[in-house]
Amino acid sequence: MTIIREIILDTETTGLEPTDGHRIVEIGALEMKNKVVTGNKFHFYLNPERDMPTEAYRIHGISGEFLKTKPLFIEIVDEFLEFIGNSRLVIHNAPFDIKFLNHELSRVSKPSLEQVRAIDTLVMARKMFPGARSSLDALCKRFKVDNSGRQMHGALKDAALLADVYVELTGGRQVTFDMASAKKNIEQNTTRASSSNFSSNNKGLIVAPTKEELKKHKEFIAKIVSPLWNNF
């Protein structure tokens, strides 16, 4: 079976525009294979080498004092790139996070991430539910994903919520359920058949008809007028 690896990713920043000097202060990413979170994760708080604006602090609650002892982006960039590899990036409002990540990558002379490799769940939600609210909180409510612990934004916490939302947006849970049910039915039918209708010898597989099948066959034969085999 083909394994599809995707990375659910989120960031927190000091503001809205990296060109205004704003930086990433937290990166959270989760590995997902075939729509199942594996438990492998990447998570770092980062020293932005600048102050924390009050407006940003009110959103994520990460203080400049707390970040002073955290690593710089250059110190974790190789580990980050190794973790994401060439996998698809699943991001809510992808252009925002990609522009910040690319700004940080350019500062340390690393290649930029291509926007096309990102799956934007915000775009997906707006297409699926036109006119409806498409924030992460709104989608959690719609899909009954428990976000009661999300008093403030947090990259790893939001990535975990987004993983559940993404599975719902793609119908993953239902597909997984159907595949599991189909597999169970096949196994049950195979077991039932091997215990009753099937036997084998050194010439191959012999399929014995059931009593019901023999009865129906006899009734069918009786209806044939002047069967060919009577001429032999």
184 sits in the region (left: phi over 0; alpha: psi -120 to 50; else beta) called alpha
DSSP E strand stretches across the chain: 5-13, 24-33, 36-45, 88-91, 118-120, 198-201, 204-207
Instruction: Quote the tokens at residue 227.
Output: 């069967």
Helix (H, G, I), strand (E, B) or coil at 130: coil
Sign of CA dihedral 56, 57, 60, 65: positive
Determine phi and psi for 82, rounding to 5 degrees.
-65, -40
Q: Which residues are known to be catalytic?
A: 153
Do residues 105 and 77 lie in contact, with contact meaning Cβ atoms separated by under 8 Å? yes
Do residues 6 and 88 lie in contact, with contact meaning Cβ atoms separated by under 8 Å? yes
